Amino acid sequence: MLDQLTYASEAALNGLMAGVMYSLVALGFVLIYKSSGVFNYAQGVMALFAALTLVGIQKGQVPFAHLINAVTGGHLETFGWQVPAVLAILLTIVVMIGMAIVIETLVLKHLVNQAPIILFMATIGLAYFLEGFGDVMWGADIKTLDVGLPQGINETIESVTDTWFGYGFFIDNLDIVAAIVSVALVTALTLFSQYSKQGRALRAVADDHQAALSVGISLRFIWVLVWSIAGFVALVAGIMWGSKSGVQFSLSMIALKALPVLMLGGFTSIPGAIVGGLIIGMGEKLFEFFVGPLIGGATENWFAYVLALFFLVFRPQGLFGERIIERV
């Protein structure tokens, strides 16, 4: 019985860590949804694209090598240099900001005042495009991402828990780093939106587009800003997930993991994204641990959604979402 309990608490702890990773993706969704009402399905693909770009820059790959080779019949592969991790990350941030500007001028600007479903579909189109674009630009093979984050099992925790409970917990070093990074990220974002001038403008836009425009806030600048921040968050998520499981197509599927987190926490709340991620992460690991073996396993694919659905029936706006007020 005691064994069962320690195993369960290890599963719960690992779930919490995984939940933090979900929150990282969910955060990007919340930022964009709050400030522009756009439900950005492309967030997961943005993380994939950011990770691909980072690896590509780091390894000095020639962009579009595959396509150029196909057209000209050449054999381009790499420039033959390696870029240090920090510089590569900075360059990737520049790329993501560039992408935000391009998305704003080519897509969002033209879709002002459209129904939310149209904007949502546009971001799905964007996701398809980015997915193909990333593959054409950097190649579709599985890449390893290494920016010097610690890997493997944390031995300190293992030995400490071993002396306390007589059973060593296996916790990934990377998960711990991810948890620390996301706490820092949330703190930074909260401080930014509460105390900086741009952050205040951002909240004003979130509150009321027209009122914000009338006091002289540039909507277009705010959108570029928000998409840049979302791009940065996507990069962080891409680095964490990429270091964990390699940079490949399935990375874009983490968006689907983030959706139930959003539902649970509420689409408009940054703390909601974190708490939702923790609940989902822990819930699905515990469910898989206790109930999974009885019904065939691999319950992680759907349990998060069903859990979120259950919460929604009692609170239709999620745990921390703004109350939905309907006026007739």
Partner 1 sequence: MFYREAGDFKTSYRADSQTFPIRLDRMGYVAALVVAYGIVPFVIDDYWANAVFVPFLIYAIAAIGLNILVGYAGQVSLGTGGFMAVGAYAVYKLMTAFPDVPILIHVLLAGGITAAVGVLFGLPSLRIKGFYLAVATLAAQFFLVWLFNKVPWFYNYSASGQITAPERTMFGIFITGAQTTAAAKYLFCLIILTLVALMARNLTRGTVGRKWMAIRDMDIAAEIIGVNPLSAKVTAFAVSSFFIGIAGALLFSVYLGAAEVGEAFGINKSFLILFMVIIGGLGSIFGSFAGAAFLVLLPVFLKNVLVGGFGWPTDVAAHLELMIVGALIVVFLIVEPHGLAQLWRIAKEKLRLWPFPH
Task: Tell me whether residue 29 or residue 169 sits nearer to partner 1 (CB atom).
Answer: 29
User: Inter-axis angle of helices 2-36 and 173-195, to 10 degrees?
Assistant: 30
Amino acid of residue 129: F
Of 152, 295, 323, 325, the residue at the interface with partner 1 (CB under 8 A) is: 295
Q: How far is CA 263 from each of CA 14, 25, 208, 311, rounded to the nearest angstrom?
A: 22, 13, 23, 9
Distance CA 185, CA 7 (A): 31
Nearest alpha-carbon partner for 48 in 190, 294, 298, 246: 246
* x/- letters, 5..24, toward partner 1 (CB under 8 A): --------------------
Of 133, 165, 167, 192, the residue at the interface with partner 1 (CB under 8 A) is: 133
Residues whose CB falls within 8 Å of the CB of residue 278, separated by 6 or more in sequence, listed in order? 16, 19, 20, 23
Task: Tell me whether residue 129 or residue 170 sits nearer to partner 1 (CB atom).
Answer: 129
317 binds partner 1 (CB under 8 A): yes
Q: Please give the residues from 145 up to 204 whose contact with partner 1 meets the rule CB under 8 A.
A: none
Of 95, 252, 318, 320, the residue at the interface with partner 1 (CB under 8 A) is: 318
What are 147's two structure tokens? 């920016």
Amino acid of residue 244: K
128 binds partner 1 (CB under 8 A): yes
The residue range among 4-12, 94-102, 202-210, 318-326 that interacts with partner 1, by the rule CB under 8 A, is 318-326
76 binds partner 1 (CB under 8 A): no
3-class SS of residue 229 = helix
Distance CA 123, CA 40 (A): 6
Task: Tell me whether residue 2 or residue 295 sits nearer to partner 1 (CB atom).
Answer: 295
Binding site for partner 1 (CB under 8 A): 39, 66-67, 70-71, 106-107, 110-111, 114-118, 120-122, 124-133, 135-136, 140, 256, 259-260, 262-263, 267, 295-299, 301-302, 305-306, 308-309, 312-313, 316-318, 324, 326, 328
